[in-house]
Structure 1
Amino acid sequence: MDRPQSLRQQFEPKLLAVLRRGYGWGDLRADAVAGLTVAVVALPLAMALAIASGTTPDKGLTTAIVAGFLISALGGSRVQIGGPTAAFIPVVFGVIAEFGYGGLILCTLLAGLMLIAAGLLRLGTLMKYMPQPVITGFTAGIAVSIFSSQIKDALGLRMEQVPAEFVERWIAYGRHLGTTQPTAVALVVSGLLIIVALRRWKPKWPGFLIALSACTAVAVALALPAETIGTRFGSLPSALPAFSIPQIPFERTLELLPASFTIAFLAGVESLLSAVVADGMTGGRHRSNGELVAQGVANVGSALFGGLPATGAIARTATNVRAGARSPVSGMLHAGFLLVFLLLFAPLMRHVPLAALAAVLLVVAWNMSEHQHFRHTLSAPWGDRLVLLLTFFLTVFVDLTVAIQAGIVVAAFVFMFRMSESVEISGGMHPDDDNGQGDDAEGRQRQRLPAGVEVYRISGPLFFGAANRLDNLLDQFVETPRAFILRMRLVPIIDASGVHALRALADRCRRRGIVLIVSGLQAQPNRILADMALGRDGQVRFASDFERALLLAESIAAEKAPSPGSVAQ
Structure 2
Amino acid sequence: MLRFFSNYSSHHFRKDLLAGIIVGVIALPLGMAFAIASGVKPEYGIYTTIIAGILISIFGGSKYQIGGPTGAFVPVLLGIVMAYGYENLLIAGFMAGVLLLLMGALKLGSLIKFIPRPVIIGFTSGIAVIIFTGQMANFLGLSHIKQHEDFLSNMKEIFLHLDTINLYSVTTALICFFFIIVTPKFLPKIPSPLIGLLVSSIIAAYFFPGQVATIASTFGEIPNSLPRFHMPQFTLEKIHLLLGPAFTIAVLGAIESLLSAVVADGMTGTKHNSNRELMGQGVANIITPLFGGIAATGAIARTATNIKNGAVSPMSGVIHGLAVLLVLVLLAPYASAIPLASMAPILMVVAWNMSERKEFSRVLLTKTSDSFILFTTFILTIFANLTIAVEVGLLMSLILFVRRMSTSLKIDQVLPDPTDKKVRPVIAEEGHDCPQISLFTVEGPLFFGAAQLFEHSIMGAIHYRPNVLILRLSKVPYMDTTGEAILASIVKDFHKHGGLVLISGMQPQLMDVMKRTKLFDMIGANHIFSHTGEAIDFALTKLDKNKCLGCKQYAFYECAELSVDTKKEKKTDKGLLA
What is the TM-score when the length of structure 1 is the normalising length?
0.91
Larger radius of gyration between Structure 1 and Structure 2 = 2
1:106-121 matches, within 5 Å, as 106-121=91-106
Relative to structure 2, which stretch is displaced further, 61-70 or 505-514? 505-514
Cα distance in structure 2, aligned partners of 1:281 and 1:36: 20
- Name stretches of at least 5 consecutive residues in structure 1 with no aligned partner: 1-14, 563-569
Alignment correspondent of 2:373: 387
Alignment correspondent of 2:460: 475
Q: 1:317-345, CA deviations, whole angstroms, 9 ceiling, x for partnerless residues? A: 11111111111111111111101100111
Deviation of residue 237 (structure 1)?
A: 0.4
Cα distance in structure 2, aligned partners of 1:364 and 1:156: 20
Alignment correspondent of 1:265: 251
AA partner of residue 249 (structure 2): I
Cα distance in structure 2, aligned partners of 1:538 and 1:333: 66
Cα distance in structure 2, aligned partners of 1:514 and 1:389: 53
1:234-245 matches, within 5 Å, as 234-245=220-231
Alignment correspondent of 1:84: 69
1:83-162 matches, within 5 Å, as 83-162=68-147
Deviation of residue 444 (structure 1)?
A: 9.9
Contact persistence 2:232–2:290 (CA under 8 A): no
Deviation of residue 146 (structure 1)?
A: 0.6
Q: 1:76-122, CA deviations, whole angstroms, 9 ceiling, x for partnerless residues? A: 21121111000100110000101101111111111101111111111
Taking a change above 3 Å as real, the CA distance of residues 528 and 382 of structure 1, as seen in their structure-2 partners, is same
Matched, 1:363 2:349: yes
Alignment correspondent of 1:456: 440
Deviation of residue 504 (structure 1)?
A: 1.6
Alignment correspondent of 1:170: 155
1:51 to 16, 21, 36: 36
Cα distance in structure 2, aligned partners of 1:122 and 1:192: 43
Deviation of residue 194 (structure 1)?
A: 1.3
Deviation of residue 476 (structure 1)?
A: 2.5
Cα distance in structure 2, aligned partners of 1:126 and 1:529: 27
Taking a change above 3 Å as real, the CA distance of residues 381 and 170 of structure 1, as seen in their structure-2 partners, is closer
Taking a change above 3 Å as real, the CA distance of residues 106 and 560 of structure 1, as seen in their structure-2 partners, is farther
Contact persistence 1:510–1:539 (CA under 8 A): no
Taking a change above 3 Å as real, the CA distance of residues 386 and 339 of structure 1, as seen in their structure-2 partners, is same
Alignment correspondent of 1:30: 15
Relative to structure 2, which stretch is displaced further, 365-374 or 519-528? 519-528
1:516 to 501, 505, 515: 501
Q: 1:517-568, CA deviations, whole angstroms, 9 ceiling, x for partnerless residues? A: 2222122212211221115345894333222222333333316989xxxxxx
Q: 1:485-505, CA deviations, whole angstroms, 9 ceiling, x for partnerless residues? A: 222121122111110110122
Deviation of residue 132 (structure 1)?
A: 1.0
Matched, 1:313 2:287: no
Taking a change above 3 Å as real, the CA distance of residues 190 and 425 of structure 1, as seen in their structure-2 partners, is same
Relative to structure 2, which stretch is displaced further, 213-222 or 421-430? 421-430
Relative to structure 2, which stretch is displaced further, 352-361 or 384-393? 384-393
Alignment correspondent of 1:188: 173
Contact persistence 2:413–2:428 (CA under 8 A): no
Cα distance in structure 1, aligned partners of 2:310 and 2:416: 60
Counterpart of 1:517 in 2: which secondary structure?
A: strand
Contact persistence 2:69–2:297 (CA under 8 A): yes
Counterpart of 1:378 in 2: which secondary structure?
A: helix
Cα distance in structure 2, aligned partners of 1:440 and 1:50: 66
Taking a change above 3 Å as real, the CA distance of residues 247 and 538 of structure 1, as seen in their structure-2 partners, is closer
- Name stretches of at least 5 consecutive residues in structure 2 with no aligned partner: 549-578
Taking a change above 3 Å as real, the CA distance of residues 378 and 345 of structure 1, as seen in their structure-2 partners, is same
Counterpart of 1:528 in 2: which secondary structure?
A: helix
The percentage of counterpart residues that share the same residue type is 39
Cα distance in structure 1, aligned partners of 2:244 and 2:197: 36
2:185 to 197, 200, 217: 200
Counterpart of 2:288 in 1: which secondary structure?
A: helix
Q: 1:136-159, CA deviations, whole angstroms, 9 ceiling, x for partnerless residues? A: 111101101111211211111122
Matched, 1:71 2:53: no
Relative to structure 2, which stretch is displaced further, 535-544 or 133-142? 535-544
Deviation of residue 506 (structure 1)?
A: 2.0
Counterpart of 1:536 in 2: which secondary structure?
A: helix
AA partner of residue 18 (structure 1): F
Contact persistence 1:79–1:328 (CA under 8 A): yes
Taking a change above 3 Å as real, the CA distance of residues 374 and 445 of structure 1, as seen in their structure-2 partners, is closer
Contact persistence 1:430–1:442 (CA under 8 A): no
Taking a change above 3 Å as real, the CA distance of residues 437 and 559 of structure 1, as seen in their structure-2 partners, is closer
Alignment correspondent of 2:26: 41
Counterpart of 2:305 in 1: which secondary structure?
A: helix
Cα distance in structure 2, aligned partners of 1:197 and 1:140: 25
AA partner of residue 46 (structure 2): L
Counterpart of 1:55 in 2: which secondary structure?
A: coil
Deviation of residue 463 (structure 1)?
A: 1.1
AA partner of residue 317 (structure 2): G
Alignment correspondent of 1:526: 511
Deviation of residue 268 (structure 1)?
A: 1.1
Alignment correspondent of 1:294: 280
Alignment correspondent of 2:470: 485
Alignment correspondent of 1:506: 491
Relative to structure 2, which stretch is displaced further, 134-143 or 169-178? 169-178
1:328-477 matches, within 5 Å, as 328-380=314-366, 382-429=368-415, 443=427, 450-472=434-456, 473-477=458-462
Cα distance in structure 1, aligned partners of 2:225 and 2:51: 13
Taking a change above 3 Å as real, the CA distance of residues 26 and 256 of structure 1, as seen in their structure-2 partners, is same
Contact persistence 1:102–1:248 (CA under 8 A): no
Contact persistence 2:101–2:281 (CA under 8 A): yes
Cα distance in structure 1, aligned partners of 2:381 and 2:546: 64
Alignment correspondent of 1:545: 531
Relative to structure 2, which stretch is displaced further, 52-61 or 438-447? 438-447
Contact persistence 2:57–2:317 (CA under 8 A): yes
Contact persistence 1:499–1:529 (CA under 8 A): yes
Deviation of residue 248 (structure 1)?
A: 4.9
Cα distance in structure 1, aligned partners of 2:312 and 2:524: 65
AA partner of residue 287 (structure 1): N
Taking a change above 3 Å as real, the CA distance of residues 442 and 475 of structure 1, as seen in their structure-2 partners, is closer
Q: 1:401-437, CA deviations, whole angstroms, 9 ceiling, x for partnerless residues? A: 1111221222122222221121101222378xxxx96
Give the number of aligned pairs. 544
Deviation of residue 480 (structure 1)?
A: 3.1
Kindly report the root-mean-square deviation, in angstroms, between the aligned alpha carbons of the 2 structures.
2.4
Counterpart of 1:226 in 2: which secondary structure?
A: coil
Cα distance in structure 2, aligned partners of 1:446 and 1:481: 18
Contact persistence 1:119–1:289 (CA under 8 A): yes
Counterpart of 1:518 in 2: which secondary structure?
A: strand
Q: 1:189-222, CA deviations, whole angstroms, 9 ceiling, x for partnerless residues? A: 2221211111333332211111111111011101
